């Protein structure tokens, strides 16, 4: 299925893509320079330190860093025949939906898919790290009984207060709603969207749809919500910023971050070498220690990573963290357009 809303993004990114192309690698530098697009901020600084710098030391490759990594720019660059980016940190959904069309298929044998957990790889992406959609509550707002299972997120009578969620259907909320409604975790997919939305109807007046992760962080620090569902790294930063967050390890969806290669990258072979390198144990561990996320490869012993106490508190991949459900990559790639449209209409209904 083609995702029309993804295609529509191109209209807003055409000018930006042209600008990026003008500042891209020169022909004399192309073989030893990679342009890396990401989110900016501390996240990209961590990528530079843990992933890029060691590859430069090994291979001599230099990196040009740009942000943000926007899918509309990829669309525009490919359409113009002048792809400026070699690696982009963005949702794997785009690469899955337009694999071979807007994103390069990965064919370097060094990207051995058997090294990664089941359900985390695709022809056009492999994971570079793993994270979770963490359910937490503000302990300052529950002096007596505290939430202890995913169903408590949906029990506003026993556990009052606003629930802060990212305004994005793949935030883990739909899966949580189904499990809270009695669906066994191993039966969540294919996702029964209407059943999930009916469950969400029961707490709709208590949901706050935040437009960004930064907004989620600020709302929880300001105690505008008693509970939150957000990603690992943002949970950590929110706790570090002063919110007295406690994670609930009952049922948690987990997902991957991915570096993808836009179609027509002038340095595809080198980009794949870099991608294979950054997932190796040494780089994976260094990145995990900086961000609090988990290594992508299954052969990295998470107990050997020097997480801080606050990072450990929100790391779903440590032992005894309840049931973890990998978000189903083929299902989301196939159904994102439909889910997004239904999500949008449900919010205003």
What are the distances in angstroms from CA 72 to CA 9, 36, 79, 103, 272? 5, 16, 11, 13, 22
Q: Are residues 28 and 169 in the same domain?
A: no
Residue 301 within a domain: yes
Find the length of the chain: 349
Q: Are residues 169 and 35 in the same domain?
A: no
Q: Are residues 122 and 271 in the same domain?
A: yes
Alpha-carbon distance of 146 to 138, in angstroms, equals 9
Q: Are residues 205 and 216 in the same domain?
A: yes
CA Rg value for the chain? 20
Q: Are residues 249 and 261 in the same domain?
A: no
Alpha-carbon distance of 294 to 206, in angstroms, equals 31
Angle between helices 71-80 and 10-22 (to 10 degrees): 70
Q: Are residues 232 and 344 in the same domain?
A: yes
Cβ-count burial 238-258 (b if 16+ within 10 Å, e if not): bbeeebebbbbbbbbbbbbbb
Domain containing 265: what range? Answer: 4-129+256-311
pTM reported for the whole predicted model: 0.89
Q: Are residues 148 and 243 in the same domain?
A: yes
Q: Are residues 203 and 283 in the same domain?
A: no
Task: Determine contact, residues 113/205, Cβ cutoff 8 Å.
Answer: no
Q: What is the pLDDT of residue 285?
A: 97
- The CB density around residue 211, as the number of other CB atoms within 10 Å, is 10
Q: What is the pLDDT of residue 23?
A: 44
Beta strands in 72-162 (DSSP E): 87-89, 127-138
Q: What is the pLDDT of residue 80?
A: 98
The tokens describing 120, both together, are 């985390």
Alpha-carbon distance of 236 to 255, in angstroms, equals 17
Q: Are residues 332 and 205 in the same domain?
A: yes
Compute the Cα dihedral for 319, 253, 97, 38 and give only its sign.
negative
Q: Are residues 95 and 187 in the same domain?
A: no
Low-confidence spans in the chain with pLDDT less than 70: 1-31
Beta strands in the chain (DSSP E): 33-37, 62-66, 87-89, 127-138, 163-166, 207-210, 227-231, 245-247, 251-260, 294-295, 323-326
Q: What is the pLDDT of residue 12?
A: 38
Number of domains into which the chain is organized: 2
Q: What is the pLDDT of residue 31?
A: 54
Residues forming a β-bridge with 295: 129
Q: Are residues 178 and 168 in the same domain?
A: yes
Alpha-carbon distance of 105 to 112, in angstroms, equals 14
Alpha-carbon distance of 157 to 152, in angstroms, equals 10
The tokens describing 259, both together, are 């570096």
Instruction: Report the CATH number at residue 50.
Output: 3.40.190.10
Residue 321 within a domain: no
């Amino acid at each position: 299925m083609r995702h029309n809303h993804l295609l529509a993004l191109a209209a807003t990114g055409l000018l930006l893509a042209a600008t990026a192309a003008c500042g891209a690698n020169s022909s004399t530098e192309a073989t030893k320079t990679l342009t890396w697009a990401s989110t900016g901020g501390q996240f990209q600084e961590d990528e530079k330190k843990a992933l890029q710098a060691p590859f430069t030391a090994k291979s001599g490759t230099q990196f040009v860093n740009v942000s943000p990594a926007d899918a509309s720019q990829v669309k525009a660059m490919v359409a113009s025949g002048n792809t400026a980016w070699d690696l982009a940190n963005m949702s794997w959904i785009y690469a899955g939906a337009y694999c071979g069309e807007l994103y390069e298929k990965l064919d370097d044998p060094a990207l051995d898919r058997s090294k990664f957990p089941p359900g985390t790889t695709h022809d056009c992406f492999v994971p570079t790290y793993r994270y979770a959609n963490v359910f937490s509550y503000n302990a300052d707002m529950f002096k007596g009984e505290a939430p202890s299972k995913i169903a408590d997120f949906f029990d506003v009578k026993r556990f009052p207060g606003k629930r802060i969620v990212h305004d994005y259907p793949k935030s883990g909320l739909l899966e949580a709603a189904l499990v809270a409604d009695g669906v066994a975790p191993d039966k969540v997919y294919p996702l029964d969207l209407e059943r999930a939305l009916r469950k969400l109807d029961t707490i709709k007046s208590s949901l706050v749809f935040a437009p960004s992760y930064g907004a989620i962080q600020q709302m929880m620090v300001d105690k505008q919500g008693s509970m939150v569902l957000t990603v690992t790294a943002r949970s950590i930063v929110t706790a570090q910023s002063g919110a007295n967050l406690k994670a609930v390890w009952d049922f948690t969806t987990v997902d991957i971050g991915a570096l993808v290669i836009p179609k027509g990258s002038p340095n595809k072979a080198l980009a794949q070498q870099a991608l294979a390198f950054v997932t190796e144990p040494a780089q994976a561990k260094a990145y995990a220690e900086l961000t609090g996320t988990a290594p992508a490869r299954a052969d990295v012993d998470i107990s050997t990573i020097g997480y801080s106490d606050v990072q450990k508190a929100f790391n779903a991949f440590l032992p005894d963290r309840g049931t973890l459900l990998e978000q189903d990559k083929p299902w989301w790639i196939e159904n994102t357009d439909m889910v997004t449209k239904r999500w949008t209409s449900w919010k205003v209904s």
